[in-house]
């Protein structure tokens, strides 16, 4: 795991009073990416509102444009998607940076293209696994190749799907299932998606996929260990994207940690994304449970882990093994960052993480540490919480937040939180 660029970093200053104010949290990355995909394969014009514009969604937009989809901005966060319901062969490989969601979804949807599609990414994306999805697509007759089990992936398709069933191993990522679900209505036959194992990390994201497919006119039947999908057509629609719950966790945490009050304009209980479920957990601080199973809200684990360091007990995080294959090895990155604050603050136990909140870190003197973000937006934003509570914390490559929350540092400054950029 390579360190991030240390030439740019942000230094936060301890905020000694409650943080209060009103801010806007960007639209959901998960919903934006799904809505872009479905609008692109629906015949007609769809209007998407409160769209997240970030590094991850921009590569998705560019990839779809390469496939012949017309996507235009009518307002900064409102776009029109015009499509004939088909995707065209791109003239060159589709480069998706380190955007895992875009890579998995576009790999599956490339099966609708008559011709060849190459899906590629940056150096780190080329280490992130995609083999379960590749194998699943091979099993339904798609000519698809990944030499390493990671991108680049080459898809050669006739643009026709004619299979009756696929089995998918979703232990590593629920996105494989979501990708197959979004592709499935195009199958000429009645089609079943069967789970190899019923234990799915991030099952809430599959529910998210099913719900948005319904919004675009698709009905799916739940069966034992999977789903039954009949041939249908996506319908163009107008769709509002709710605020991103993973991004909201940092704001909810700041509110709780400082005994403040921050209005983000949208209630947690009305959010449909899995990470919204941690709102109550965040509000239980400092009395976290001894064990937190993060399997269903993995993107919120960095937030909770840093909060746990300021709690009143030891907290063991389980069900987080998939964090090893995110934008960086997040288990390692969290542990390293916490141990820079205090050498005994966190321990890796296999694929689990123990955070020792019994250590009094509020009163650490003369702290002067640079937390390595590893170019990972969630690592950078989660450690900003520590920088608000204690002096002496800097975070490398602060611009990596552009992946999902480009205005994050400005949002904090608007709430009165002080920081310097170098």
**206 half-sphere exposure, CB direction, 13 A CA radius:** 21
Best CA proximity match to 225, nearest among 183, 163, 166: 166
Residue keyed to tokens 């296999």: 350
Rounded Cα–Cα distance for residues 129 and 171 (Å): 12
The span from the CA of 146 to the CA of 23, in Å, is: 43
Alpha-carbon distance of 45 to 48, in angstroms, equals 10
CA 212 to chain centre: 16
d(Cα 374, Cα 384) in Å, to the nearest integer?
Answer: 14
Token pair recorded at residue 38 = 């479905």
68 closest CA partner among 81, 59, 53: 81
Catalytic residue among 244, 275, 299, 372: 299
DSSP character for 215?
A: H
At 5, list the tokens.
């660029």
- C-alpha 115/C-alpha 89 separation (Å) is 6
CB atoms within 10 A of CB 366: 6
Of 125, 115, 180, nearest in space to 149 by CA: 125
- The rounded distance, in Å, linking the Cα atoms of 123 and 68 is 27
DSSP annotation of 168 reads E
Instruction: State yes or no: is 244 an active-site residue.
Output: no
Work out the widest C-alpha separation in the chain, in whole angstroms: 67
- What residues have CB less than 8 Å from 399, skipping those under 6 apart? 8
Distance CA 258, CA 112 (A): 50
User: Is 202 within 8 Å of 277 (Cβ atoms)?
Assistant: no
CB 72 within 8 A of CB 80: yes
DSSP string, 252-271: HHHHHHTT-EEE-SS-GGG-
Active site residue ranges: 299
């Amino acid at each position: 795991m390579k360190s991030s660029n240390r030439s740019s970093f942000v230094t936060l200053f301890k905020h000694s009073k409650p943080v209060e104010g009103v801010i806007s949290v960007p639209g959901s990355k998960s919903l934006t990416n799904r809505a872009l995909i479905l609008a692109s394969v629906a015949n007609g014009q769809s209007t998407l509102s409160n769209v997240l514009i970030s590094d991850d969604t921009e590569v998705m937009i560019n990839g779809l444009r390469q496939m012949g989809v017309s996507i235009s901005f009518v307002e900064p966060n409102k776009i029109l998607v015009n499509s004939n319901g088909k995707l065209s062969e791109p003239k060159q490989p589709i480069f998706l940076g380190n955007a895992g969601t875009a890579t998995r979804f576009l790999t599956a949807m490339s099966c609708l293209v008559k011709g060849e599609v190459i899906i590629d990414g940056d150096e780190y994306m080329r280490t992130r696994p995609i083999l379960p999805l590749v194998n699943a697509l091979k099993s339904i007759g798609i000519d698809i190749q990944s030499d390493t089990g990671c991108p680049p992936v080459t898809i050669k398709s006739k643009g026709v799907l004619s299979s009756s069933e696929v089995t998918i191993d979703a232990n590593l990522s629920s996105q494989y299932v979501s990708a197959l679900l979004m592709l499935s209505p195009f199958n000429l036959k009645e089609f079943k998606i069967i789970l190899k194992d019923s234990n799915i990390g991030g099952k809430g994201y599959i529910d998210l996929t099913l719900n948005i497919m319904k919004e675009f006119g698709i009905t799916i039947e739940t069966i034992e260990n999977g789903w039954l999908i009949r041939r249908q057509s996506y319908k163009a629609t107008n769709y509002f994207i709710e605020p991103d719950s993973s991004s909201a966790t940092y704001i909810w945490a700041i509110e709780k940690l400082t005994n403040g009050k921050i209005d983000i304009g949208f209630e947690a209980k009305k959010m449909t994304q899995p990470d919204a479920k941690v709102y109550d957990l965040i509000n239980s601080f400092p009395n976290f449970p001894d064990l937190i199973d993060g399997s269903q809200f993995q993107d919120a684990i960095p937030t909770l882990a840093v909060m746990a360091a300021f709690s009143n007990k030891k907290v063991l995080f389980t069900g987080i093994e998939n964090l090893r294959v995110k934008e960086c090895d997040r288990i390692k990155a969290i542990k390293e960052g916490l141990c820079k604050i205090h050498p005994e603050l966190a321990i890796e136990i296999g694929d689990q993480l123990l955070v020792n909140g019994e250590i009094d870190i509020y009163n650490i003197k003369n702290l002067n540490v640079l937390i390595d973000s590893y170019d990972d937006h969630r690592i950078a934003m989660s450690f900003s919480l520590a920088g608000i509570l204690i002096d002496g914390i800097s975070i490398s490559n602060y611009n990596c937040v552009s992946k999902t929350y480009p205005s994050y540092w400005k949002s904090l400054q608007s709430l009165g939180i002080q920081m310097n950029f170098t």
